Structure formats: structure tokens, C-alpha cells
Structure 1
Amino acid sequence: MTDVKNPDNVEIHSGKDMLNVNDDALSQKLHLVNNAIDEIGFTSYQLKLFFLNGFGYGVDSLLLLLSALVQPQVILQYQPSVSKAQTIALYVGLLVGALVWGSSADIIGRKYAFNISLLWCSIFAIVAGASPNYFSVCIFVALLAFGGGGNLILDTTVYLEFLPSKYQWSLTFMALWWGVGQMTASLVAWPFLANYSCSDAINCNNSNNQGWRYTFYTLGSLVFILSLLRITVIRLKESPKWLLSQGRDKEVVEILQYIAESGKRSCSLTVEMLEAIGPVRQDNLSSRYHPKVIFKHVKGLFPNKKVAYSTSLNFASWSLIGLAFPLYNVFLPIYLQSRGRHVDGDGSTYTTYRNYAIINVCGIFGPVIAGGLVEVKYLGRKYTMVIGALLTMGFLFAYTGVKTAAQNLAFNCLISICLNIYYGTLYAYTPEILPAAHRGTGNAISVSCNRIMGIVAALIGSYADLTSSIPIYVCAASFGVLAILSILFPFESLGKRST
């Protein structure tokens, strides 16, 4: 090869891998691939992934908030018997999408699911804006969520599997796109819903309640553009670590050599080095879609007691945040509206969505702060999550005592920042501690736990008094438990390479 450089000054062969739970051949080959990725360093390819995967990351939060933001006006127009059916449809779609796209990523690879999922979201988001009745709104929301449910799983998985260990902190930092998605949804919805919405059910119809449709059209079109950029700009290569699990050593080397050459870096990994280790065990199944394949990937998440303990805590954390986050954030417009009237008599649509936009802009800073904290020696990933969870708990309890409009907005901004410190770190930590061969399935189950509890939160929202402080107390207590679970995690990924 051409004389190239290793500008990151990585000590190539001394990295400590996170897990060694696969068969011996796969573990040894993963170690060599990690060495090669560290040798290549951070190139323009990873930078493209940061932005285009980040856009996809933001789409998940954008879609979640899109449904929440338009829901009050959709309900006002159609007067459904089950007021939270739209939220339930959203979470059912996210749940099924996470399971289907996540498990398929371990079976057919990351590339195809990565390219299709975002395009799917955009098409049904646009179509949802033209819904003629409440039933069709729920159906199209479920369909767009089906794409979004897998999109987020693949964004973190794909980015991590191309990332040098020196830059694994950027996976936490990438969660800032979650805040960007929230901010975008809020800023787009604010003018549309404030200026093109009806105010009472008696006189609410298509002619005076177009704001929620405009919001769907605009955000759906934005996601469509991003999906095209993902296909035309990044031209994703298949994950080398997934290819290893399939015994496709030659393709692994070709992809890493391509990234090295395009970035004018060195890559000393050869096919002979991988083949010298021996073949990776392959199941002799008649079809890759056989149920036994999925079971194999689920079983691979529990190879020994320590990893099983870690996986279980991870699923529990995702379940609990799946309850707390929707109770607070998805129903936040209702909180803000009721608090506005209570605090200063202003519960107008304009003020509600203005505050919502400001709060979600503040949310961007949470992952940025977390990106720095996760690299602090005595904090790492675990204690960054503890800090984020405890601060969120404290501000949630304090929020119930607000007296003025300024306090109302300030506390919500602080909660948004601290909540995203925790959430952003959890999103990054989860794929780091999962075995590479089963990472898609592990991510899918984690996020599915989250979605199931989101459905529970929607059911609670259908029968609970969301204008009271009770949901806030439930959220606060949940974050206290999340802090304890973070302390109990057996692995700290700071300074260790993902396998």
C-alpha cells in the first residue's frame, strides 16, 4: 500500500476488549479487527456516520414528539372514545419495529435495514397528514413508528462498529441529535399549531384545524430528504464485526482497507491473519430466518452469569426509563398548559408550544455534557448515568412546587438537560456492553422493553389526571431507582473496546 499515516498515535495491539464471550475464533478475530480500526483511526467515513446516523437518531425523538405535539388537536377535531389511542399506536409501532429491524440486523446484516428504515418513516409521516379520520391517523402513526423503531437501534449499532476505541465517547455525544430532533419537532409545530388550530370541539374541522396536518407534512418531508442523503452520501458498507460473525473474512478486510485508503491511513490487517485463527462456528440451519437463529442470538446475550446480570440490568433500565420518559415528556404539553393557567393564568396554545420549544432546545446540552463526563476517570459511563438520574429526580420533585411562570420554564429546562444526560449515556452504553454477534438483537430487546412501558404510560395517561403532580412523583421515583441500577452494572466501558 501507499505510505500512509496513523495520526491518532494509537497503540494498536494493546487495546483491552470489553467482552470475550463468543467462541474463541470470533473473539480472537474481533480483537484483530478492533486493532485494525484503532490503527485506521477516525476518518471522514466515521464523520459522515456521525452526522447521517445522528440525523436518524434525531428522527426517533422527532417522531415521538411529533405524535405528542399534534395529538391534542387531532383529539379536539375527531373526539375519539379512547383519547390516547394515537400514543398507544405509536408505541406498538415502535415496539414491533424494534423487534423486527433489530433482530433482522443480526440475521441479514446492518446495511439493508439501515437504508430502508428511515425512508419508511418519511413516507408514512407524510401520508399521516392526509388522514381522513382518527382511525387512519392511528394506523399511519403506527406504520411510521414501525420504521422509527428499528432506525434508532441501527444508528448506534452501525456507528459503534466502525468506531476506533479512542473515540467511543462520541457515541454518547451523538445523542445530542436526540435533542436536535426534539427541538426541530417543537420549532416546526409551534407556528403551525399556534396559528392554524381550532380552540373548541364544537367548531373544529379541517378548514380551521390544519396545523397538525402541516406539521406532519413538513417533518415527514424533512425525514424524506434525510433518508435520501443516507442512501446517496454515506453509501454504507456492511459492518465488519457482523461479517466476522458470518465467516466472511475477505469482505471484512476489503471494507477496512477501503476506509483506510479513502482516509489516507494504514491498515495492516490481512485475510491470512484472520484465516489463520480458524473458522467461526456456524449453525447448520436450513434457513437464516429459522426461529432457531433468533433464539441463538437471544441466548448469546446470556453466555455467563456476569454478562447475564449485566443484560438483565440493562433491560430493567430501559423498561423503567420507558415508563418515566413518556409520562413526563410525551404528556408535557398538558403539564405546561395546566401549569400555565395555575401559575399566571396563561395556558394558551401559543405559550404552551413556545415553552415546549425552549425546553427541547435546552435538551441538546444534556448529551454534550454527558459526552465530557463519560471520559472522566472516576465517573465513566456508570456514574454519569447516576449523576443524570439523581439530578433529574431532584429537579422533578422541586418542579411540583413552582410558583411563577419563570420557575415553571426554568425547572423544565433543567429537567430536560439532566434527563438527556442519563438517556444519552444509556443509549451509548447499551451497545458497548453487548456482544457484537448479538448486538442488534440485544438492542432490539432493550428498546422493546422501553416501548412496552411506553404503552403502559399511554394507558396510565388515559385514566390518570395528568394535570396533577402524581405523574411527576412517579417519574422522580423512577429516576431514583435508575440511579441505583446504574451503580449495580458490573461493567464499566471507559477505556475498553467494544466487542
Structure 2
Amino acid sequence: MASEHLDDKKVSPAQDVDPERLSEDNTSIGKGDILQQEHTDPVLNAKMHLINNAIDEIGFTGYQVKLFILNGFGYAVDSLILLIQSIIAGQAGLEFNPGYPAGLTIAAYVGMLVGALFWGLTADVIGRKFAFNVSLMICSIFAIVAGASPNWIVLGLFVCLSSFGAGGNLVLDTAVFLEYLPGKDQWLLTLMAAWWGLGQLVAGFLAWGFLPSYSCDDPSLVEGAPPCTKENNQGWRYVWYTAGALVFVMSIARITVIRLKETPKFLVGEGRDAECVETLQMIAQKYNRTCSLTLEQMQACGTINSDRRGSATHAVKSKWSLGEIGVHLKGLYATKRIGISTTLIWFSWTLIGLAYPLYNVFLPAYLSSRGASFGEASPYITWRNYTLVNFSGIWGPVLAGYMCATRLGRKYTMVIGALITMAFFFAYTQVRTNVQNIVFTCVINFCLNIYYGTLYAYTPEVLPSAHRGTGNGIAIGWNRVMGILSAVIATVADTSTPVPIYICAALYIVMAGVAAIFPFEPYGKRSS
């Protein structure tokens, strides 16, 4: 819509607003919006355009810095919980003698699957704020309790419940951060994935610090070793206690450091224009920035389509109906290009959901077997190497963030990251020495996080704001389903052989091809 129409607060009726004219708006502070040409709801497009202009006008402030850190906690916790269960499974198994050793991995992924779907769907129904404030608290409580588990089944239950809390963070963290970011700073969404590596690093440090000194010996490996009991096998429990306490501190910081308000793009999708403008004006005032957006400008655009808005026009009791969920699912296929994009994104998450756990979640077993073949029986050496590998993973998203801010864009950053990872996967099968082993595992962890970190950021960028939580939740849900499948595969297959590495390499080739044909490229555009 033309800017002069906004200035005099007179615009054409809703049905006359042409989203294509937005790209011709010479007063735009930023560049075009990603989905503005998709002809979904022209009034909603016009309002999103105004919000993007306002966020660009305010610019990057301390508010976004706080969100980068506090949302980053969610990334770190997701990887922390997932890796801790795989790290401690062996020692807990010696104590409990489980009938199904891969049970913890399945419990963790089931919890994260349900968490991703629950928090993702509720994010589009009741908003982003509730999950942001509650999810980490739930995760921390059950992580601490997991350390006191009396048997394998109870441990699996608490791992599942802790993962339920953690599972919602990857859905919400990217959405919340993105919906406050100026267009020129959206590459920071990729950089935020470095927190994932930090979570892995903490898991490695906890294992390195507690397991070698406070764990029982495996009677099958150490002749004459006493049976494993709670008294002589406290290391894995200390890992849970420490991790849970750390997550608890993070959850308190989320509530106290920033009083998160509902995101402007969620509010406008719900028809709450006044609250949207108030939130943006509050940020501008707090950080002494300019924000020229007014409620009159928003209202002058018209009223958004009630069929798309759904919950804003129905009684509160209908918010949890299947029809409400159907509205958001339908919105993810509002146009042919949006539908193709949604499908390819979900397919990519499915592929990485199988490739990543096969290699990384079962990496302790693989490292242990390689270490044994190299004569490294010491748990200290094994977990030291594991920590080094996780440290290297932090820097993949850092490079990816830089690449995304260049003309390579998000799509070709993912293509390059996937292909390089594939090459090193194949090369890794030729490892024969200690030095080669640690170097290659570090390089692979670095490279695969280039792809993974970018996919995390790309997904919410190209999803429609009103349906972002649902689309993101289902994407990560598919990821978790494949994680469960990978645990089953690992149970019946030998993960100490190079076969999983060949499978992972082939999957990354497919991922590179899918990334190349994504219909949207966010570089130089703003999320809708």
C-alpha cells in the first residue's frame, strides 16, 4: 500500500489492498518481505509490512541482545538434555541392567516429539510468551529428579518429561527472536545455533568431570570389578543434578532478566493491533529509538481475513478445537509455493533427524570402540576427546552466520555445509590413527552444524508468522520421529562399524539437493 495513503489515514478497502504494491513502496526502510507476493491476505501483508518497517526503524537494541542470550539457552538445553541421556546411558545401564538399553534414547525423543508438537501448536493458539517462560522450568525440575531415579523405567520417565520441556524451545526460540529482529540482522538467527554447540560442550565437560572419577567399572571389561550399585556409581547422577540445576538457573533468568511481551507479529495475526503498536513503542522508548508506527496506520489497512485469523473471531472455548489447528495447517499450504516450501522443509528435518542421531547421539559408543582399537581404554581420554568434538561444533554456526549474510544466502550455505559434511563422512571411514580420529570428528561436527544451524534459522524465516509455531513444531516433530527410529536401528545394528557413517553421508547428499530447490531465499528480504 502506498505511504501517502497511510499518512492521511485513508486507504482503499481491504479487498483493494494489493500486496504487490508493497514492493514498490519507496518509503520502506528495509527490503521486501519474503511472502509479500504470495497473495494470501493482502491486509495482513500490509500490516506485516508496517511492522517490519517499524522494527527496522527501531533497529538492533539491548532487547535483542537479551533475547539472543535467553533464547540461546533453549538451544543449549535441547542439545544438553539429548546428549546427557546418551552419555549416562551406559553407566546407568550397568547399575540397572535394563532389558532394552536404547530405552533412554527413545524416551528422550518421545518427550521431545510431544514437546515440539505441544509447544509449537500452542504457540500459534495462545502465543509465544507462555512457552518461553515455562518450558525451561519444566525441563529443569525433571532433569534434577532424574538423578535420583531408583530404576531404569523411572529414569526413562523423568528423561521423557525433562525432554518434553526442552523440546519446545527450538520451536519457540527461533520464532520469538526472529519476530523482534530487524531485517538486516536476521542472519543472527543462524548464529544463535552456536548455543547448540555450547550445550554439547557443557554435556562433554560434565561427563569428563564426573564419569571417570565417580563411576563403577564394567565387570565385562575389568576382571574382578565389584557389581555396580548406587553407592559406587554416582557419576551419572551428579551429571543430572548439575545439568538440572544449570537449566533451573537459566529458567529463572528468562523470567527475571526480560519481561517478555507477546511478539508483535503474533498480536497482529490475532487482530490485536493496539497491543502490537504498544509493544513496539515500549521498546523504542526504553532504548531511546524512534518508532513512527501508529494504531491509526494499522487500522487504516483494514481487517484481516477472519478465516485465516480463526481464533481471534471465535469464542475462547474454540481455541483448542481441531478446527483451530486445521486453520494453521491450511495456512502452511495457503499457496502453491508456500506449500512446496513447507513440504521440503519438513522433508529436510526428517532427513537430518535420521542422519544426526545415527552419528552424534551414538558417537560415545563409536568413539569408545575406536579408542579401544587404538589402545585407549581410559574413560578420561574418551570423554576428553568427546569434549573437544563438542567444542568444535560451536563454530559451525558462526561460519554459517557469516555465509548467510553474503550472496550465498541461506540456501547455498546449506548446500555447501551438507556437501562438505558428506565428503568428510566418507573420508572418516579411512581413519586409522588417534590423531586422525579426533581431527576428523572435530571437523565433521563443525561442518554438519553449518547445515543444521542454517536449517534451524531458515525454517521460521520462510514460514508465515501466523502459522510459524505449527510449521516449526511439526518440522522438529518429524526430526524427533526419526530420532526414535535411529534408536531402534542402533539397537539392531552395530554402530561401531562405518556403516552408519556411509548412510549419513548419503543422506547429506539428498539434503544438499533439497536445499538447492527451496522456493524461497531469505537473503535480502524480511520474514513475514
Q: Give the TM-score normalised by structure 2.
A: 0.91
Question: Could you report, residue by residue, the CA deviation over 1:450-478 in whole angstroms, capped at 9, with x for unpaired residues?
Answer: 00000000100111111111111111111
AA in 1 matched with 2:381 = T
Shift of the alpha carbon at 1:351? Answer: 1.5
Q: Which residue of 2 aligns with 1:268?
A: 292
Q: Which residue of 2 aligns with 1:300?
A: 331
Does the alignment pair 1:229 with 2:253? Answer: yes
Distance 1:79 1:14, change over 3 A: closer
Q: Which residue of 2 aligns with 1:62?
A: 80
Counterpart among 139, 161, 173 of residue 143 in structure 1 = 161
Residues 28-39 of structure 1 aligned to structure 2 (within 5 Å): 28-39=46-57
Instruction: Name which one, 1 or 2, has greater alpha-carbon Rg.
Output: 2
Give the Cα–Cα distance (whole angstroms) in 2 for the partners of residues 422 and 33 of structure 1. Answer: 30
Shift of the alpha carbon at 1:32? Answer: 0.3
AA in 1 matched with 2:263 = S
Q: Which residue of 1 aligns with 2:31?
A: 15
Contact kept? 1:12, 1:39, Cα under 8 Å: no
Q: Which residue of 1 aligns with 2:509?
A: 480
Farther off after superposition, 118-127 or 10-19: 10-19
Does the alignment pair 1:464 with 2:508? Answer: no
Does the alignment pair 1:353 with 2:377? Answer: no
Q: Which runs of 5+ in 2 are unaligned?
A: 1-25, 220-225
Residues 180-259 of structure 1 aligned to structure 2 (within 5 Å): 180-201=198-219, 203-259=227-283
Counterpart among 185, 198, 202 of residue 167 in structure 1 = 185
Q: Which residue of 2 aligns with 1:498?
A: 527
Question: Could you report, residue by residue, the CA deviation over 1:189-227 in whole angstroms, capped at 9, with x for unpaired residues?
Answer: 211011111122561111111000000000100000000
The SS at the match of 2:271 is coil
Q: Which residue of 2 aligns with 1:455?
A: 484
Residues 45-444 of structure 1 aligned to structure 2 (within 5 Å): 45-201=63-219, 203-282=227-306, 283=310, 284-286=313-315, 287-342=318-373, 344-377=374-407, 379-444=408-473
AA in 1 matched with 2:372 = R
Contact kept? 1:339, 1:347, Cα under 8 Å: no
Shift of the alpha carbon at 1:113? Answer: 1.1
Shift of the alpha carbon at 1:14? Answer: 5.0
Give the Cα–Cα distance (whole angstroms) in 2 for the partners of residues 268 and 277 of structure 1. Answer: 16
Give the Cα–Cα distance (whole angstroms) in 1 for the partners of residues 417 and 273 of structure 2. Answer: 41
Q: Percent of aligned pairs with the same residue?
A: 57
Shift of the alpha carbon at 1:423? Answer: 0.4
Give the Cα–Cα distance (whole angstroms) in 1 for the partners of residues 337 and 377 of structure 2. Answer: 51
AA in 1 matched with 2:159 = V
Contact kept? 1:57, 1:151, Cα under 8 Å: yes
Shift of the alpha carbon at 1:346? Answer: 0.8
Contact kept? 2:30, 2:56, Cα under 8 Å: no
Q: Which residue of 2 aligns with 1:5?
A: none
Contact kept? 1:107, 1:288, Cα under 8 Å: yes
Give the Cα–Cα distance (whole angstroms) in 1 for the partners of residues 30 and 87 of structure 2. Answer: 50
Q: Give the TM-score normalised by structure 1.
A: 0.96
Give the Cα–Cα distance (whole angstroms) in 2 for the partners of residues 319 and 53 of structure 1. Answer: 24
The SS at the match of 1:234 is coil
Q: Which residue of 1 aligns with 2:223?
A: none
Question: Could you report, residue by residue, the CA deviation over 1:230-257 in whole angstroms, capped at 9, with x for unpaired residues?
Answer: 0000111111000001100000010000
The SS at the match of 2:72 is helix
Shift of the alpha carbon at 1:12? Answer: 4.1
Question: Could you report, residue by residue, the CA deviation over 1:337-389 in whole angstroms, capped at 9, with x for unpaired residues?
Answer: 101112x2113321111110000001111000001011111x11011111111
Q: Which residue of 1 aligns with 2:17?
A: none
Question: Could you report, residue by residue, the CA deviation over 1:405-457 in whole angstroms, capped at 9, with x for unpaired residues?
Answer: 00000000000000111100000000001000000000000000100000000
Shift of the alpha carbon at 1:25? Answer: 1.3
AA in 2 matched with 1:142 = C
Give the Cα–Cα distance (whole angstroms) in 2 for the partners of residues 479 and 351 of structure 1. Answer: 30
Give the Cα–Cα distance (whole angstroms) in 2 for the partners of residues 347 and 433 of structure 1. Answer: 48
Contact kept? 1:94, 1:149, Cα under 8 Å: yes
Farther off after superposition, 206-215 or 10-19: 10-19
AA in 1 matched with 2:411 = K
Contact kept? 1:336, 1:347, Cα under 8 Å: no
AA in 1 matched with 2:268 = L
Shift of the alpha carbon at 1:266? Answer: 0.2
Give the Cα–Cα distance (whole angstroms) in 2 for the partners of residues 44 and 12 of structure 1. Answer: 24
Counterpart among 44, 47, 60 of residue 42 in structure 1 = 60
Contact kept? 2:30, 2:183, Cα under 8 Å: no
The SS at the match of 1:68 is helix
Farther off after superposition, 278-287 or 415-424: 278-287
Give the Cα–Cα distance (whole angstroms) in 2 for the partners of residues 317 and 425 of structure 1. Answer: 12
Contact kept? 1:246, 1:280, Cα under 8 Å: no
AA in 1 matched with 2:321 = H
Q: Which runs of 5+ in 1 are unaligned?
A: 1-9
The SS at the match of 1:206 is coil
CA RMSD, Structure 1 to Structure 2 (Å)? 1.2
Shift of the alpha carbon at 1:11? Answer: 7.0
Give the Cα–Cα distance (whole angstroms) in 2 for the partners of residues 190 and 249 of structure 1. Answer: 51
Give the Cα–Cα distance (whole angstroms) in 2 for the partners of residues 303 and 253 of structure 1. Answer: 27
Contact kept? 1:310, 1:491, Cα under 8 Å: yes
AA in 2 matched with 1:204 = C
Contact kept? 1:76, 1:204, Cα under 8 Å: yes
The SS at the match of 1:237 is coil
Farther off after superposition, 178-187 or 18-27: 18-27
